Amino acid sequence: MHKEKYDFSLKTKKKVWLEVGFGNGLHLVELAKRNSDKLIVGSEVYENGVATTCFSLFQNKIENARVFHGDARILLQSFEFEAVDRLYILFPDPWTKKRHKSRRLLSLANIEIFSKILKSKGAICIATDVEEYYLEIENAFSNLYQFERLHVSPKEKNLSFFLDIKTKYERKAINIGLLPSYLVYKKV
């Protein structure tokens, strides 16, 4: 019942913010609560996270959010050119084993797709607690002419782009002594 109400639809004149891999939906729900003038779209592959998020959206009477259950690549292909104003990728699976690194969400191929759906002057907001992944992300974006990193220390959370709440994986990282990196890239 709740899944149908919050199922994916992009018919809006509002600015569109997309969160890929929203997990249990804590960030997505809070983003929608604080930005009722925006359409918040989320994608998640795990059914329990989708169910939890849809129920939370229902409980909070949030109408400005849409949820896509499945592979984010399918959702990304459904967006029109320059349809998204802001994109969130928070603590994506780092796929730390060498044989799995090709599965990383922030690969050059996926960044090209993000670039196509992101509006000019739109932003990609990324957080990771894996230092090697952070360096790989920085290297990938530094070699792309269509993006510039906003000049903020990556170890400081820029509250102009990131919420003042902590996600599940952010709390986990901080609790074991890791210092997450927060990156914001603007499409030029």
**Cα–Cα distance for residue pair 91/170, rounded to 1 Å:** 7
Would you name the residues annotated as active-site residues? 93
Q: In what order do the strands lie in the sheet containing 38-44?
A: 65-69, 38-44, 15-20, 84-90, 118-128, 181-187, 147-149
User: Please, are residues 14 and 37 in contact by the beta-carbon 8 Å criterion?
Assistant: yes
155 three-class SS: coil
Reading the block at residue 52, the tokens are 């939890």
**Cα–Cα distance for residue pair 106/129, rounded to 1 Å:** 14
Contacts of 159 (CB under 8 A, 6+ apart): none
Kindly tell me the burial class for residue 101, based on how many C-beta atoms sit within 10 Å of its own C-beta (0-12, 13-18, 19 or more): middle
